[in-house]
Amino acid sequence: MTSHEHLDRDELSARMLGPREAEVTCEQCFEVLDRYVEAELAGADAERLFPGLGPHLAGCPACREDHESLRDYASATS
Amino acid sequence: MIAGAHSSLMSLSRPTHSTLLDDDSRVWLERLRGDGAERDRAHAQLHELLVGAARFEVRRRGRGLRPSDLDDLARQSADDALMAILAKLDEFRGDSRFTTWAYKFALLEAAVAVRRRAWQDREVPLDSDHWALLADRAATPDQDAETGELIGAIGAAIEASLTPHQRRILVAVTLEDVPIDVLAERLNSTRGALYKTLHDARRKLRARLAEKGFDL
């Protein structure tokens, strides 16, 4: 075991139980990730425009990293 | 192509509507769909943009890897991303800028490549019995009582509710921090399929814990 050893209750719950809300799949996430990121960078309500994507990013470490990278790279190059 | 990177994230649905392309995106599409030297120049120019995105990602996620390895990974990722983009060009509808759409392919390929390279010489823990160590954590003195109670309940729910495959994926991803793309490669699966397994396992655990009176 690794990084969960010092997690508090909320962190442990989030890690092992995932998001409470309905979420999209990894495939659906990738499909709209560019639009989601541009909505975020434009200050739009991305969560409302793409329901279920936020919860997926909270639950899927790989998609979360992909999102962070696209957001940061698009922001840096725009 | 990095097996399982973009290919493991095959789209389930096509865009259902079109919007007006911005000028830059329209020019990109025209040049990439053209022919002769102009198309070759567009491919080369796009490839350089993808190399830039891939370098950003491998430098960000590839700490600990050799600089020469990082550059190789970035160039290979850009190659793979370019192939994926050209194959899916007709699916781009202009709902975002073309470059944002293209960058996501390069970043994905690079991220998967870095995760796999970082784990290539490491054993992936796939012992589903590791979950049992959770119960031991419940008795750790420095664990607060509430957390200890939850840990014990999760351990019991894992034992009672999950299949061996679900236990293995849950433990590897959430407790052992194995990247899901690495797991997918080792198990000859895909990110999407393994995340579905993880999602189903989490739903079962939530249901079991709710039955036991936990409000999570």
CATH of the domain spanning B128-211: 1.10.10.10
CA distance to partner chain B, nearest, from residue A51 (Å): 16
CB nearest B96 (choices: A5, A35, A73): A35
> What residue spans define the domains of chain B?
6-118, 128-211
B60 near A CB under 8 A: yes
Summarised one tens digit per residue, pLDDT across range B90-140 is: 999 999 999 999 999 999 999 999 999 999 988 887 775 666 666 665 556
Q: Which residues of B touch A25 (CB under 8 A)?
A: 12, 192, 195-196
Share of chain A above pLDDT 90, in %: 81
Summarised one tens digit per residue, pLDDT across range B22-51 is: 999 999 999 999 999 999 999 999 999 999
Q: What is the mean pLDDT of residues A21-43?
A: 97
Per DSSP, the residues of A18-71 read --SS----HHHHHHHHHHHHHHHHTT--HHHHSTTHHHHHHH-HHHHHHHHHHH
> What residue spans define the domains of chain A?
23-77
The pLDDT value given to residue A3:
47
| pTM greater than 0.90 | no
CB nearest A1 (choices: B170, B176, B196): B176
B108 near A CB under 8 A: yes
B120 near A CB under 8 A: no
d(CA B51, CA B59): 12
User: Which of these, B45, B19, B14, B18, lies nearest to B32 by C-alpha position?
Assistant: B45
Q: What is the 3-state secondary structure (H, E, C) of B184-198?
A: HHHCCCCHHHHHHHH
Contact A16 B101 (CB under 8 A): no
d(CA B100, CA B105): 9
The CATH label, of 1.25.40.10, 1.10.1740.10, 1.10.3720.10, 3.40.50.300, for the domain at B6-118 is 1.10.1740.10
Q: Which residues of B touch A1 (CB under 8 A)?
A: 130, 133, 175-176
d(CA A69, CA B98): 17
d(CA B89, CA B86): 5
Report the complex ipTM: 0.92
The pLDDT value given to residue B125:
79
Count how many Cα atoms sit within 13 Å of the Cα of residue B164 in the half-sphere of its side chain.
Answer: 3
What contacts B148, CB < 8 A, 6 or more positions away? B137, B138, B139, B140
Nearest-Å Rg of the Cα atoms of chain A is 14
